[in-house]
Amino acid sequence: MKQILLAISVVTVFACSEKKAKVLSSATTSANVPAAGKSIVVYTTADTANYRLTPTDTLEFKDFGQPLETQPCVFVDPTKTFQTLLGIGGALTDASAETFAKLSREKQKEFLKAYYDPNTGIGYTLARTNIHSCDFSSGSYTYIKEGDKELASFNIDHDKQYRIPFIKDAIAAAGGKLTLYASPWSPPAFMKDNNDMLHGGRLKTEFYQSWANYYVKFIKAYEKEGIPVWGLTIQNEPMARQTWESCIYTAEEETNFLKNNLGPTLAKEGLGSRKIIVWDHNRDLLYQRASTLLNDPQAAKYAWGVGFHWYEDWSGGDQVFENVKKVSESFPDKNLIFTEGCNDKFTAARLKDWALGERYGRSMINDLNNNTVGWTDWNVLLDEKGGPNHVGNFCFAPIHADTKTGNLIYTNSYYYIGQISKFVRPGAKRIESSASRSPLLTTAFINPDGKIAVVVMNTTGKDMPFHLWMGGKAAETKSLAHSIMTMVF
């Protein structure tokens, strides 16, 4: 795997995710048979026990042999490896930056450590931000004067007030290394057929090149400010006509824009190493969009991977995790990255609702098991109303700030994400894990330092005893009702 170092951010180029299991080196293969008495440290987040990323137990492997069907197990096989993790993180939006600015410096430091410190916090390493305004901005804005096709007026002065200082603080808190990508919600109004940044509309073909140049201007302006941009998505939710900033692309339109304009323009401007993520919308149309674009060789050569969201259950159905797997199987040379998800319809009465965190756990485990290399939450911080948001589209974040009292409110989502992000680090390889009982969801990784992290989530209202089994040895433990646990050894 080729690595490229930038001034502040370490950028890892994933040539492709390892889709088929392979045998590790002899040193790792021997780890398939853990030594008897080997310690396993358990960290737990649980509803009834009031645990929050709490060290709850130390287990030991003992000789076990063949388990019976009556003995529930989580089986782990580190000799079978899959994709390499890029990182886990959340979006640094205008709303998050503006809310952050209202906190005392003491609370700002607490917030930054909570997210970005790998020891005292949950160790975020991945971030997304918006190219000019989105719904989670205080109002609509662009970086140019309306009608400026040549982009002569381009400047990012708006972002220098809140967002750029916020992103710099996050990078510093993460140790100077944060993999950042950017997404646009809409081109400027004059470039669209509805002459409106809101309510959908389409990018006019005569502005394809001007809009491609806009991405270049953004990347270069941010990097001039000392913020490296690792990559970008072509369009946030390109099939959604929203009441906020939005723009529609068919699969064919996105393909043409990528291969004829955006891809060649980035290459020409010396930005060809920046990763381009296509789709950036829900799992429902994921295969159709990916296959249309990636089956076009001229477009596919510019696409690093496919991004997706989790809002497909808007129709009343369930989340379709299987579609992620289908794209992974069909296009093993491309990467999959979760680019956005949040619990919406904010109400303060639900801030302690355990279902908020469980939605994250279920999605992260399934997406990672389907070869996703990166997982990005939506806003890292919102206020006590679930905003600011200029169209009233308020939602939940893992951490909220009560701007009246100055206090931070940690929701269950923060801890569920942390049960994975804190213990599964960039460069970790997913290894095989399998549960013998359906209510136990599991994923497992081996980190670059050789430590194995096994995550087990219990979605039921009752405790579930089980054995962590590996190479004929096992450690007896228990998954508490409505909990998520991480076993590290």
Q: What is the mean pLDDT of each run of 10 residues along the chain (489 residues)?
A: 36 36 39 75 95 98 97 98 98 98 98 98 99 98 98 98 98 98 98 98 98 99 98 98 98 98 98 98 98 98 98 94 98 98 97 97 98 98 98 98 98 98 98 98 98 98 98 97 98
**What contacts 25, CB < 8 A, 6 or more positions away?**
none
- CATH architecture of the domain with range 38-83+431-488: Sandwich (2.60)
- What pLDDT was estimated at residue 368? 98
In sequence order, what DSSP letters do the residues of 108-168 get, joined into one string?
HHHHHHHHH-TTTS----EEEEEES--TTSSS---SS-TT-TT-TT---HHHHHTHHHHHH
Amino acid at 233: T
Active site residue 252: no
- What pLDDT was estimated at residue 377? 98
Q: How many helices (H) and strands (E) does the chain have?
A: 13, 23
Residue from 18, 98, 340, 358 carrying the catalytic annotation: 340
Whether the bond into 439 is cis, omega within 30 of 0: no
What is the third-level CATH fold of 87-426? TIM Barrel (3.20.20)
Domain ranges of the chain: 38-83+431-488, 87-426
Alpha carbon of residue 256 to chain centroid: 27
Residue from 18, 98, 237, 358 carrying the catalytic annotation: 237
Q: Comparing 38-83+431-488 with 87-426, is the CATH topology the same? A: no
Measured CA to CA, the distance from residue 108 to residue 155 in angstroms comes to 27
> What φ, ψ does residue 359 adopt, rounded to 5°?
-65, -40
Which ranges of 339-487 would DSSP assign to H, the alpha helix? 354-369, 412-421
Residue (of 107, 115, 93) closest to 405 by Cα position: 107
Would residue 371 be called left, alpha or beta, if left means φ above 0 and alpha means ψ between -120 and 50 degrees?
A: left
Measured CA to CA, the distance from residue 402 to residue 381 in angstroms comes to 11
Question: Is residue 478 classed exposed, middle or buried when 0-12, 13-18 and 19+ CB atoms within 10 A define those classes?
Answer: middle
Q: Which helix (H) or strand (E) holds 293?
A: helix 286-294
- Whether the predicted model's global pTM rises above the 0.75 cut: yes
Query: Could you give the C-alpha distances from 441 to 177, 181, 189, 325, 454, in angstroms and in order?
Result: 31, 30, 45, 16, 11
Provide the residue count of the chain: 489
- What pLDDT was estimated at residue 32? 65
> What φ, ψ does residue 241 adopt, rounded to 5°?
-90, 100
In angstroms, the first-to-last Cα distance of the chain is 26
- What pLDDT was estimated at residue 19? 38
Query: Could you give the C-alpha distances from 101 to 93, 96, 97, 161, 381, in angstroms and in order?
Result: 12, 9, 6, 10, 11
In sequence order, what DSSP letters do the residues of 388-410 get, joined into one string?
--TT---B--SEEEETTTTEEEE
Measured CA to CA, the distance from residue 189 to residue 208 in angstroms comes to 13
**Hey, how many other C-beta atoms are within 10 angstroms of the C-beta on 92?**
27
Question: Is residue 353 classed exposed, middle or buried when 0-12, 13-18 and 19+ CB atoms within 10 A define those classes?
Answer: middle
Amino acid at 9: S
**Hey, how many other C-beta atoms are within 10 angstroms of the C-beta on 124?**
28
Residue 340: how many CA atoms within 13 Å on its side-chain side?
A: 27
Active site residue 340: yes
- What pLDDT was estimated at residue 309? 98
CB 475 within 8 A of CB 39: no
Measured CA to CA, the distance from residue 244 to residue 407 in angstroms comes to 29
> What φ, ψ does residue 248 adopt, rounded to 5°?
-95, 130
- What pLDDT was estimated at residue 38? 80
- What pLDDT was estimated at residue 34? 79
